[in-house]
Amino acid sequence: MSNESAQAAICRGCAQVISEADLAAKLKTGRPLLVKYGADPSAPDLHLGHAVVLRKLRQLQDLGHTVQFLIGDFTGMIGDPTGRSVTRPPLTREQILANAQTYQKQVFKILLPEKTQVVFNSTWCSPMSFADIIRLSARYTVARILERDDFEKRYREGRPIGLHELLYPLIQGYDSVVLKSDIEMCGTDQIFNCLVARALQQDEGQEPEVILAMPLLEGLDGVQKMSKSLGNYVGITETPKEMYGKLMSLPDAMMLKYFQLLTSIAEDELKKIKSDLETGVLHPRAAKARLAFTIVEQFHTRADAESAAEEFDRVFRDRQMPSEAEMQKVMLSASDASLNLKDGEIWVLALLVNDNIGIGLKSNEAQRLLKQGAIEIDENRVTDFRAGVKLKKEGIIIKIGKRRFVKVFLQD
């Protein structure tokens, strides 16, 4: 592939490239480039929002470059202030290490291990003395740091900004100096931090890294950035059934963006899907089913995707029960005093929230679902949390929301 073709492929899908001239110059050297991607292990699970950047990293690996997957175990103790209106509580060392271990397992669902260098920034940050931190801090100004939108807004509104938060962009930028990174991948919310890295590299006499900023992926609500804390996410380690079902709930308006950022579909094919949707040749549900199938197949297997699609159609299109193999099984004992059974009958709320049963709903969540009519027992909707449920040896089937089915058996 020519340098021009490689550059076009690299830039495809990026929200911003700083700068394309720098990227062209680096590609002309003909050497494998070092591509940095930093992840603070603030949560143990990766989702499709992370996959947008990881897929671009994999593309760079396929072009012959090396990924520096940096786990911010040191910066994680500060807490990334990006987009925050309040100071973020730092994580403990134990939390960081546990999350980091999970990260390493998950990223190789996308990245090539043989072309990935996993590094921890505590390796060079922890040995730094207070004098080292002062010297680093002297290389950037408070005025420049306060240009960040979140800092500027908090300062204007009189919200607290911890001194340690002002150090975060500096330390993230210093990582690039240590690693001598040629390219840094990020989301658009991290561009400021990467610009700090470019400035520090120039100050160090290095060629500044190229910034490849990817668009932020909205979650299943189609509004907020995908986030586990907002509940609008699809985890990359979720089961095929969960992943497929969640993607089928995606708003129609988000489909093309998901196709572009999360699949390898050709540009011409993407334009055809867009045209066919606009003219009515292609039904949105069919396009969404193709999207869900494609993404599930990427993270699992084609057979898994076929099974998930068949199960979804059976339950939601054909209005049939899922196969028993797909249901959660719960076995209860009639002699279990904690169930407080009366002639084999139990209150529906107790059935849903009792810790010994394993359905696992919180009381307020169960009451909300009951009130919304989102609980069915043997295909009968239940809305009264005081309603009695008769347990049976042959089992009863509880439908919770749209996608969860639990079969509960009673044994002597």
Is residue 291 packed enough to be buried (19+ CB in 10 Å), middle (13-18) or exposed (0-12)? buried
> Would you say residue 408 has pLDDT above 90?
no
Q: Are 123 and 71 a contacting pair, CB within 8 Å?
A: no
Q: Are 323 and 262 a contacting pair, CB within 8 Å?
A: no
User: Which pairing describes strands 183-187 and 210-214: parallel, antiparallel, or unpaired?
Assistant: parallel
User: Cα separation of 239 and 234, whole Å?
Assistant: 10
Q: What is the pLDDT of residues 77-127, one digit of tens each?
A: 665 555 443 445 666 777 777 777 788 788 888 999 999 999 988 899 889
Q: What is the pLDDT of residues 274-284, one digit of tens each?
A: 999 999 899 99
Give residue 84's pLDDT. 43
> Would you say residue 32 has pLDDT above 90?
yes
Banded pLDDT at 180 (limits 50, 70, 90): very high
b/e map of 13-52 (b: 16 or more CB within 10 Å)? Answer: bbeebbeeebbeebbeeeeebbbbbbbbbbbeebbbbbbb
